[in-house]
Amino acid sequence: MSVPIEDYAIIGNCQSIALVSRDASIDWMGLPRFDSEACFAALLGTQKNGRWRIAPIHGAAEIHRRYQRGTLVLETEFVTATGRVVITDCMSRREGISDVFRVVRGIAGRMTLRMELVVRFGYGSLLPWVTRLEDGRLRIVAGPDQLLLDTPVETHGENFATIAEFDINAGETIPFTLSWRLSHLPMPERIDAAATTERVSQGWRDWSARCKGDDELSDIVRRSFITLKALTHHETGGIVAAGTTSLPEALGGPRNWDYRYCWLRDSTFTLYALMTGGFTEEADAWREWLLRAVAGAPEQMQIMYGVGGERRLTEFTVDWLPGYAESKPVRIGNAAHEQIQLDVYGEVLDAFYQARRLGIPSSTAGWAMETTLIRHLAEIWQQPDEGIWEVRGGRRHFIHSKVMVWVAFDRAVRSIEEFDLPGPIEEWRKLRDRIHDDICSKGFNTELNSFTQYYGASEPDASLLLIPLVGFLPADDPRMRGTIVLIERTLLQDGFVRRYNPDRTSDGLPGTEGVFLACSFWLVDNYVLQGRIAEAQALFDRLLALRNDVGLLSEEFDPKSKHQLGNFPQAFSHVALINSAHNLMTANGPARHRADDPD
């Protein structure tokens, strides 16, 4: 039976992450990058597909876990009838080397623990060759991948796994280090696990200290910033949407996608979150990643890219993995990278415009790229597309896409007006106004008193909540008030927001899904902009209650089963949490600032 998604915590080194279950089993990890082939894939299969577990041999009466404050260093505490032990987990990196550290400390009494290391490279399919080196370390190899296990504990092979059983007393410390390096390169040098763990912890504390405040909400926001940092590649600046692939949006269903890539539409939300938290270095690195990723012919711009800006994200299925909770197929890659989604033009133009407003210096090359994109958009904006939700049931004139087209021209005009940049301002003003009129005349259903999902539709979708957040219409405009009323009536489920009604939307897939957490935070932002502060705070508090015990959110939530759904942890959910928190804490939060009209 699959471990509940919310029972996982993460560790990471800003290059890759690992998912650690409540009983201290690392069930998902790919090295050296977020999108590398997993060597632990039990998350999407069974323990035979790879995991690394250290736990009391006879089970624990109590399990407690926590992050060291301000860090991504995880502590799991086991309490048995004979003793108490804490396992401290973290990751670090060296040049060409990724390290995972597990330090076991005896706190009280005596305990017998069992370590089980099952390595299966190639997403749980490849049985490696294991040898013992002269210095006592185990070398685990398959093709280009190599892992080295270093521990003073005696290990042995058993059923194609590496096993150790050991006792630990109060005051004792036993380290385990697993190091990855390409198999054709020299062996990594040994490294002190306990000392490195403390250095990693201090590094995280130093970084997260830039997020000010000592109250409970500040700690919640700080945890979301740490999660975003964990999903950020330290060299490229790219931020992946999540650390996993194929965690389902509905158990047993086919809505299982690979989210280990970087989506352009996350750009403005991410930029705002980082800037409001004072993380200007990360914001600048993200902006530079964006500039490099979209460089080239404008008609070749994609909606998503790899961590380094890679364009070829070919989708295929992994048939040997049964999927999380038997949810098939397990997908690697994402075919949506080939879709046409016009909203990304608005996201890119808005990201660069907001960066200028927030004081990140622009470049001549950056503006040249923006003007090239906007000229191309002027030729294609009337086309249908697959929309923000990446539907696979055919292209439509999605209203959110059209609104973001308007945003692209609006930000181009504002950039010329406010920053004295060159461009045909009158031409773009006229086109901006034409697009605005087109949306209001074709996208607003007078009978429903609401905007709808696409031109001619009879249903709303939650992306309409972004209309006031990007400044297309004020939140208190009668048309927007009517839209929110319809969303509340048709898309709320147990007080949270669904993206759309799958039964009445042609998205090309059967089945349903959970409520979408980012959309629910967008409703918080709309309530704030409408002055409905008590309702905003109440919804925000309910959303915070959905976080797991270490403060992490996935993409969706099932109100019936009370379990998280979708890939984990989800950057978009944490970005939305940060922005809603700032909207509630200040009158000039991201929603009001982003939607503000300088005129």
In-domain check, residue 220: no
> What is the pLDDT, as a whole number, of residue 338?
87
In-domain check, residue 188: yes
Residue whose structure tokens are 């509940």: 4
Half-sphere exposure of 491 (CA within 13 A, CB side): 29
Interval 30-57: pLDDT, tens: 999 999 999 999 999 999 999 999 999 9
- Return the bridge partners of 557, or none: 515, 564
What's the rounded Cα separation, in Å, for the pair 335 and 331? 10
How much is the average pLDDT of 406-413? 98
Pick from 431, 285, 294, 262: nearest CA to 365: 294
Q: Using 50, 70 and 90 to split pLDDT, how confident is the model at 364?
A: confident
In-domain check, residue 400: no
Least confident interval from 13-22, 258-267, 490-499, 532-541: 258-267
> What is the pLDDT, as a whole number, of residue 340?
86
What's the rounded Cα separation, in Å, for the pair 436 and 413? 14
In-domain check, residue 41: yes
Interval 465-474: pLDDT, tens: 999 999 999 9
Indicate if the pLDDT at residue 592 is higher than 70: no
In-domain check, residue 463: no
Indicate if the pLDDT at residue 243 is higher than 90: yes
Quote the DSSP letter at residue 45.
Answer: S
In-domain check, residue 557: no
Total count of domains within the chain: 1
Least confident interval from 51-55, 279-283, 315-319, 554-558: 279-283
What ranges in 53-131 are assigned the alpha helix state H?
121-124
> What is the pLDDT, as a whole number, of residue 359?
85
Residue 64 belongs to what domain range?
5-201
Helix (H, G, I), strand (E, B) or coil at 258: strand
Mean pLDDT across the chain: 93
Q: What angle do CA 357, 363, 366 make, to 5 degrees?
A: 90
From residue 223, give the alpha-carbon distance in Å to each of 9, 34, 144, 158, 574. 12, 20, 35, 39, 9
Q: How would DSSP label each residue in 270-331?
A: HHHHHHHTT-HHHHHHHHHHHHHHH-S-GGG--SEE-TTS------EE-TTS--GGG----E
> What is the pLDDT, as a whole number, of residue 199?
98
In-domain check, residue 452: no
Query: What percentage of the chain carries pLDDT values higher than 70?
Result: 96
Indicate if the pLDDT at residue 588 is higher than 80: no
Query: What percentage of the chain carries pLDDT values higher than 90?
Result: 81
Q: What are phi and psi of 215, to 5 degrees?
A: -85, 175
Interval 413-459: pLDDT, tens: 999 999 999 999 999 999 999 999 999 999 999 999 999 999 999 99
> What is the pLDDT, as a whole number, of residue 108?
98
Q: Using 50, 70 and 90 to split pLDDT, how confident is the model at 511?
A: low
What's the rounded Cα separation, in Å, for the pair 202 and 73? 10
Q: Return all residues near 489 (Cβ < 8 A) that are at least 6 apart.
A: none
> What is the pLDDT, as a whole number, of residue 362?
76
> What is the pLDDT, as a whole number, of residue 459?
93
How much is the average pLDDT of 107-135? 97
The CATH number given to whatever domain includes residue 113 is: 2.70.98.40
> What is the pLDDT, as a whole number, of residue 390?
81
Helix (H, G, I), strand (E, B) or coil at 577: helix
* Sign (positive or negative) of CA dihedral 452, 455, 458, 462: negative
Polymer length of the chain: 599
Indicate if the pLDDT at residue 354 is higher than 50: yes
In-domain check, residue 451: no
